[in-house]
Amino acid sequence: MMRVRAYRPEDRTAKAMVFYRAVREGAAPFYDAAQRAVWAPSCEPDWAEPDPQLDQWCWVAEDDRGLTGFMSLDHEGYLDMAFVLPEVMGKGVAQALYGALVDHARAKGLTRLTVRASHLARRFFEKQGWRIDAAEDFAVDGQTYETFLMSLDLGTRP
C-alpha cells in the first residue's frame, strides 16, 4: 500500500536512487545516454553538498518495498524535483505526490507554481492543467536539454 509523507533526512540515499533510476531508465526515450549520465551521474547522494530538499517542502511516496517517488517545492512556488521509479510510472504515485504538493501550496497561500520540465514531466504537468510558457534549451556540463518552462495558476487566496 502506498503512503505519502514528508521527506526526512534519512530518506536521502533512497531519494538519490529514485532520481538516478527515473533519469537513467524512465527518461531514456527522451534523452540520450550522455545526457542522462550528466543529469544523474551517480546513484549515491553528493555528500559534499547540503541536501536541497531539507530547505524545501518535499514529499515522498513509499510502499512496503521502500521509497517509490518524491516531489519538492521551494517556498516561492518553484517545483524543483518530481521523480518516480520507472516501475510505478502511471500507477498513481506521481498523482498522489502532486496532490500533496498542490494542497500544501494552496495552504501556504501560493497563487502560482512554476517548473522547468523535462519531456516526460511536461506530459504529466499538462494533464494537471499546467501551461507551457516557453520551450528553452538548458545547458549543463556540455549537454543541452530541451526543457519547458511551465506554470500553473492556483488562483487567488480566499
Of the candidates 114, 118, 146, 147, the one whose C-alpha atom is nearest the C-alpha of residue 131 is 114
Q: Chain-wide mean pLDDT for the chain? A: 95
- How is the chain split among helix, strand and coil, in percent rounded to 5? 35, 35, 30
Looking at residue 123, its pLDDT comes to 94
Looking at residue 156, its pLDDT comes to 60
Rounded CA gap, 40 and 74, in Å?
21
Name the pTM for this structure. Answer: 0.94
Looking at residue 68, its pLDDT comes to 98
Looking at residue 31, its pLDDT comes to 93
| Helix, strand, or coil (residue 52) | helix
Write down the residue that cell numbers 494552496 correspond to. Answer: 106
Looking at residue 82, its pLDDT comes to 97
Copy the grid coordinates of residue 24: 537513467
Looking at residue 155, its pLDDT comes to 81
Looking at residue 102, its pLDDT comes to 97
Residue ranges of the chain whose pLDDT lies below 50: 158
22 CB-near residues (< 8 Å, 6+ apart):
40, 69, 83, 84, 85, 86
Among the CATH numbers 3.40.630.30, 3.60.20.10, 2.60.120.260, 3.90.480.20, which is that of 3-153? 3.40.630.30
Looking at residue 158, its pLDDT comes to 47
